[in-house]
Structure 1
Amino acid sequence: MQTVTTAAGIELAFDRIEGAGSGTVILVGGAFSYRAFPKMVELARKLADDHGLTVINYDRRGRGDSTDSPGVYDVENEIDDLAALAGVIGGEVALFGWSSGAGLALLAAGSGRVPGLVAVVAFEPPFVVDHENFVPPADLEPTLHALIAADRRAEVVRYYMTRGMGMPRILAGIMRFTPMWKNLLATAPATAHDWAIMGRFMRGEPLVSAQWSEVRVPTLVISGAKSGALLRKAARAITAVLPDARHEELPKLSHNPDIGILTPPAGVFLEKQFAH
């Protein structure tokens, strides 16, 4: 484990997996994710081993071994975190975002504050662009913040999964009896950061090109054919408004992805960007 301290005093923990080639990619996890999450570890290793990329797998603020800013939830702060990581790494970097982490990666790319950024891979950012499937409640933010402030973590997990992510209640209830429950509880307070990223883009309204016009780096948007209609529609919608993006929908892939299916198109795309 290595750490970097941001200008705001947040200590970010990360692992560096060295690849044999050139180019560094920063993995940006989504809600309830952390750097030791098995699929994040597997993704990092495959990008390094199969595509020669050096991979930075970090704990976003409030997760794992990184510190937090309790009660302060602003996407600009997480963009600053990514900028700090990229600054320490030096040279050219790419971002690989998963779910709300994909939303963060795209917003960071549009900010112009991530030094050396050459590309983005966005895996299923959960934009909600119409009212056909699911729209979070209008009062989600104050309700979520109140539950977090009261340290009612089990309720945070259930509430964010069902009302923030649209998971059926029965599936969210089953999570309590799985081995991952303790990790869900540990990362529950950080869901407020995920909502700070995605909330304004989950109101059932179409994405607006002007909001994404500054994302000028080449972008690969990936979705899975086995994922729900909301996520597949979101992938097509964000691709349509980005200046330089293409979309791939992969057979047999879901939002809980088979890393062996997810990695190859992303790895090939990233190799090409670093070869330019």
Structure 2
Amino acid sequence: MDKETTSHDGTSLAYRVTGQGPVVVLVSGALSTGATLAPLAARLADRFTVVLYDRRGRGASGDIPPYAVEREVEDLAAVIGAVGGEAALYGISSGGALVLRAAAGGLPLRRVAVYEPPFAMDDRAVREREQYTRDLTAALGRGRRGDAVELFLRLTGLAPEMIRNARQSPMWAGLETVAPSLAYDDAVLGDGRVPAHVLAAIRVPVLSLAGGASPGPLRAAARAVADGVPEGTYRVLAGQSHMVEPDVLAPVLAEFFAQ
């Protein structure tokens, strides 16, 4: 990241701008920084001014406590203000949930797209998320960042053997570095349920995407988002999973954002 702006509470936010055209801000999900979405940005830069930023507590951005979801909405407002004052937003996973809350908050947006915001679609999933919140809070409170990362990976359905292998990999240290921000993603998702009151307050068109190879609950959550906003469209990307391929996603986003 090579630029910096300041959020309402004084937190420094690192961001990068590429391309030329209408502004599109990309919002990453859990355990990631703005750089995670760089391949997608590269595929949109021929038609849009694409902005990548590190959410607070990640990468080169700062983090002034106490945390609140409203602070992250203010962060997005600061980034948008720094790059022209109006934008379209794309968010993946929990970043999508943040984007929806920002849209409901009245930010100067043209359009919003989200990919598989992981809302809980039944009571069992809600209970699992409640337990995850308790366990995550305890792990981070004890400074056990590795355990916090493992809790998140288990929540996503990653097999125990894969988690054990990940703990031994070079990438693990980087995951532990951003582990405290897992609490922020958890807060953005609220009680885990689809936030009907948030969706009803959104006044811009929303494209809610899911992968055809993703688990059914993720597709159901994406459909529920499209159904819950006044101007929502649901679309499935054939053969894609939660790790959506930029080459598949970029043309769909470009078509939607160009309208």
TM-score (norm 1): 0.87
| Residue matched to 2:122 | 130
Cα deviation 1:233-263 (Å, max 9, x = unaligned): 1111111111101011011111111111111
Query: What amino acid is the match of 2:76?
Result: L
Deviation at 1:134, TM superposition (A): 7.4
User: Please, which of 64, 67, 73 is the counterpart of residue 62 of structure 2?
Assistant: 67
Q: Is the 8 A contact 2:25 2:88 kept in 1?
A: yes
- Structure 1 gap ranges (5+): none
1:29-108 to 2 correspondence within 5 Å?
29-37=28-36, 40-49=37-46, 52-70=47-65, 72-108=66-102
Q: Which residue of 2 aligns with 1:147?
A: 139
Distance in 2, Cα, partners of 1:126 & 1:91: 29
Aligned-pair CA distance for 1:132: 6.3
Counterpart among 194, 201, 215 of residue 192 in structure 2: 201
User: Whole-Å Cα distance in 2 between the matches of residues 218 and 180 of structure 1?
Assistant: 37
* Structure 1 letter corresponding to 2:55: R
Gap regions ≥5 residues in structure 2: none
In the alignment, the residues of structure 1 paired with residue 220 and residue 118 of structure 2 have an alpha-carbon distance, to the nearest angstrom, of 9
Separation (CA, whole Å) in 1 of partners of 2:139 and 2:236: 36
- The corresponding residue for 1:250 is 237
1:187 aligns with 2:208: no
Matched with 2:198 is 211
Letter in 2 for 1:43: L
Task: State the Cα deviation string for residues 161-206 of structure 1 (Å, max 9, x = none).
Answer: 224x34343333332233432221111111011001013234xxxx
Matched residue type, 2:54: D
Which stretch of the first structure deviates more once superposed, 83-92 or 212-221? 83-92
Local SS of the residue matching 1:200: coil
Name the CA shift for 1:219/1:137 in 2 (closer, same or farther; >3 Å).
Answer: closer
Work out the CA distance in 2 between the residues paired with 1:34 and 1:10: 16
The aligned counterpart of 1:261 is 248
The 1-side partners of 2:182 and 2:134 are apart by 13
Q: Residue 136 of structure 2 contacts residue 151 of structure 2 at CA under 8 Å; is this kept in 1? A: yes
Deviation, 1:230, is 1.6
Partner secondary structure for residue 26 of structure 1: strand
How far apart are 1:137 and its partner, in Å? 4.3
Q: Using a 3 Å threshold, how does the CA distance of structure 1 residues 132 and 151 change in structure 2: closer, same or farther? A: closer
Q: Tell me, what secondary structure is at the counterpart of 2:188? A: helix
User: Over aligned residue pairs, what C-alpha RMSD do you find?
Assistant: 1.8
Paired letter, 1:167 = L
Within 2, Cα distance between the matches of 1:230 and 1:218?
Answer: 23
Q: How far, CA to CA, are the matches of 1:232 and 1:181 in structure 2?
A: 29
- TM-score, with structure 2 as normaliser: 0.93
